[in-house]
Amino acid sequence: MNPWRGLKEIPHNIWILAFATLINRSGTMVLPFLALYMAKDFGVSAGSAGLVLAFYGLGALFTAPIVGKLSDKLGALRVMKLSLIFTGLMLFVYPFIYDYYLILGYTVIWSVVSEAFRPANLSLISTESEPAKRKTSFALNRLAINLGMSIGPVIGGILTTIDFELLFYVDGITSIAAGIFLMIARFDAHAEGISGEVSSFENPESGLLKEETSIKPSVSGIQNQASIFKDKLFLLFLFSLIPVNIVFFQHIGGLPLYIVRDLGYSGVVFGILTAINTVVIIFVEVPLNNAMAHWDDRKALALGAILCGIGFGMMVFWENIFFIAFTIVVWTFGEMIFFPASTSYTSTLSPENRRGEYMGYFQMTFSLALMLGPWLGTEILDRFGSDILWIMTFVLSCISALLFSFFKVKSSTAVQHQRIK
């Protein structure tokens, strides 16, 4: 049996979105090296370097729910285009800022613009794929992300040996290129997030079959208008995501400083280690998620969280670079299971006409973890040492896994019935 067979059934528009993501991510190198840029070029402490990432997370935190609603009203595709173009332009300016406090403020603005892409993208993927294909569609999106990330950080690691400022220019160029690609791409105009923006390309014979336009069981008008903060199941889910997401973001927080500063390896070595993560994802994630397509989301989330914690936690035992490479493979498997399952579960929990809003709050948990995770990791690394940091990553992952065990709902139909009662 072909483990990649599920990709043949992915809608045309999902492939376009994935290719745009690939273009953008192929130049992603600023964020993975931002802490090193601040520590080396500005000479600040690890905690101060991590604080810049915290400010990035702060901007993303406030962006996600707002952009989710904006995507529902203005169209997710339009939001994505604007985000990519303006992100690229802002990256060109970043190297010309030399004051630490100005960098903190500018990083917040950059984050607001850049992170607007994510909830809009997730919302559009949810709209463009039916439930049976949704987890594979999200896996394809992550395949594009990680294929690009197998290129960007490696090139970024090389550029750091020449001039850190080159990272900002290359990252900005690829962001703008991705935005231009979305402007000229020929979408099938049938989804709410697309149809209002591609009329010049619209083919009346294209699009999904009629029965696919009502994928999810309908819910009452009251539920559609109710505050998201009354959705207790969804709030528990969001809360459960935060500890393990804090762990995951150590790959741009504590991990690069530990490998480069504490163990004495070069930025090139860190870039290659980052590529291990992305290469494994490229070859394994889609087949893995196809094989796990019928798994209970609760089990997949718990397993992914535990593997993530084991991977980071094992670094307490040995500092050998080959052992570190092995730990990266372990937490990568956790990542490959956890993230598609969490996005798919969000789609299951969200009312169809408020999917952008729900995806916005879902993305907000990642933004909160991005705000706290790298900063906490770098502070713990500086104050208490690497052993305490890696032990804490294991503990936090176990907390998330335990919280996922409280989830009882296993299907979208059951979710809707529970809410209507």
CA distance 58 to 300: 29
Q: What is the pLDDT of residues 172-194, one digit of tens each?
A: 999 999 999 999 988 876 544 45
What domains can you pick out in the chain, each with its CATH number?
10-203+230-420 (1.20.1250.20)
65-103: per-residue pLDDT in tens?
787 777 777 788 899 999 999 999 999 999 999 899 999
Residues 6+ apart with CB under 8 A from 204: none
* Residue 140 · residue 14 · CB < 8 Å: yes
pLDDT digits (tens, 9 = 90+) for 130-165: 776 776 788 788 788 878 887 887 888 888 888 888
Tally the C-alpha atoms within 13 A of residue 63's C-alpha that lie toward its C-beta.
26
Q: Considering only CA atoms, which of 292, 409, 253 is closest in space to residue 345?
A: 409
Quick: pLDDT tens for 227-249: 777 888 888 899 999 999 999 99
Nearest to 261 by CA among 417, 25, 72, 37: 37
Structure tokens, 286 = 């889609």
pTM: 0.68
